[in-house]
Amino acid sequence: MLAGVASTLSAQTKEKYVSESWKDNFFVSVGVGGQVCVNPDNSDYGLGHAITPNLAISFGKLFNPTWGVRAQVAGFWSTLYSEYASPVAGQYEEIKNKTFGTVRFDALYNVSNAIWGYNPDRLFNLSVFAGPGLTFAKTYGNQDDVNALINGSIGLQGAFNVHKNWDINIEARGEVSPSIFGAKSSAHTDGAVSLLAGATYYFGGKKFVPYISKVGQDAINEELNRYRAELAQAQADLAAAQKAAAAARKVETKEVVKEVETAGIRAIFFKIGSAKLDDYGKVNIQLAAKSLKANPDKKYKVAGYCDKATGSASFNQKLSEKRAQVVYDALVAEGVDKNQLELVGFGGTENMFGKDFLNRCVILE
């Protein structure tokens, strides 16, 4: 059922987001709360007497804003009220401190992101999770032996997005496994219902970027190659015109040429959702730095842009500022005086050069 719902809802998502690197979106969680053992013996006596503490520690990874996995270690003890070994017929015996430990493996599915799309500023996200596990306890037969009992569970998690690195979580889980009380229980299986509250820390923050298609990358490369070809042709035409003018002169003159560096408008392009310079951008910055240093009395604007068609307004504003900062830092590293540079980010803008992806740039002017 979850797989079917996931396929349907994912098909409705307007834009896909992914982790840019395999190192992104790892997390660790800690939760504390209570658990009640749902067993026929406890049901006869009253479930309220069987509530015990519960502690869980999890480690996992989000592959995208919708799907993730985690491994969880949980446990403490569980309480049973049973007639087993009671000296008085019909009298319940309380069996306390039946310690146990459980290892679980959960698949996480973010319902909020699946239905409404990824929003890094959304305050609350609802997720469902399910998976198998192993419960370790001293139970059947020899009480000195620790047995591994297969279990399965499903639950709901609510996460409050309080910081890019932190979530505050509340989760409820229902679980079924063979009874950890063995012969002292009249049932072969135990059910457990737990409620935990805790926090999740994301190493490096929650990082998702729009999916980059190969078509978009090829289009960028095609545009760059076209600009190079046009530049080469213009240089060839200029050389031919200079040669023709020299041949037409009847009076021999001595030509003195002084090379002067001038700084024109330059554009440094970036991949979608990225503020990382590629090799083309680094070469462009080196050439620009040479011109800027040759004109120390002039000031230049380092302006970052994003395409308005991709991402939210807040995401684009931050990304445009990051792009401008990267170019600014690279120019300073090449020896450009900081006083010559003004840093500004314009966020997502309307199409400036005929195609949306050409807006993903920093313009130096």
Domains of the chain: 2-209 (2.40.160.20), 215-225+260-364 (3.30.1330.60)
The partner residues of 363 in beta bridges, in order of sequence, read 267, 303
What is the structure's pLDDT at 215?
A: 47
How far apart are alpha carbons 278 and 221 in whole angstroms? 12
How far apart are alpha carbons 238 and 350 in whole angstroms? 35
Q: What is the dihedral of CA 354, 283, 315, 313, to 10 degrees?
A: -30
Burial tier of 328 (Cβ tally within 10 Å: 0-12, 13-18, 19+): buried
- Residue 76 sits at φ, ψ, to 5 deg, of 165, -105
At 159, is the pLDDT very low, low, confident or very high (cuts 50, 70, 90)? very high
Give helix 279-294 / helix 313-333 axis angle, nearest 10°. Answer: 60
> What's the mean pLDDT when you consider all of the chain?
81
Tally of residues, the chain = 365
Question: Does position 86 have pLDDT exceeding 70, yes or no?
Answer: no
What is the structure's pLDDT at 140?
A: 47
What is the structure's pLDDT at 171?
A: 96
- Regarding pTM above 0.85, the answer is no
How far apart are alpha carbons 224 and 216 in whole angstroms? 13
234-293 pLDDT, tens digit each: 888 898 888 888 777 655 555 555 554 555 678 888 988 888 888 888 888 888 888 888
1-53 pLDDT, tens digit each: 555 555 555 444 457 888 778 889 999 999 999 888 777 766 656 666 678 88
Question: Does position 214 have pLDDT exceeding 50, yes or no?
Answer: no
Average pLDDT of 120-147?
A: 81
Q: Are 165 and 202 in contact (CB under 8 A)?
A: yes
Q: Are 71 and 105 in contact (CB under 8 A)?
A: yes
332-358 pLDDT, tens digit each: 998 988 888 888 888 888 778 878 788
61-84 pLDDT, tens digit each: 999 999 999 999 998 777 776 666
The partner residues of 154 in beta bridges, in order of sequence, read 130, 174
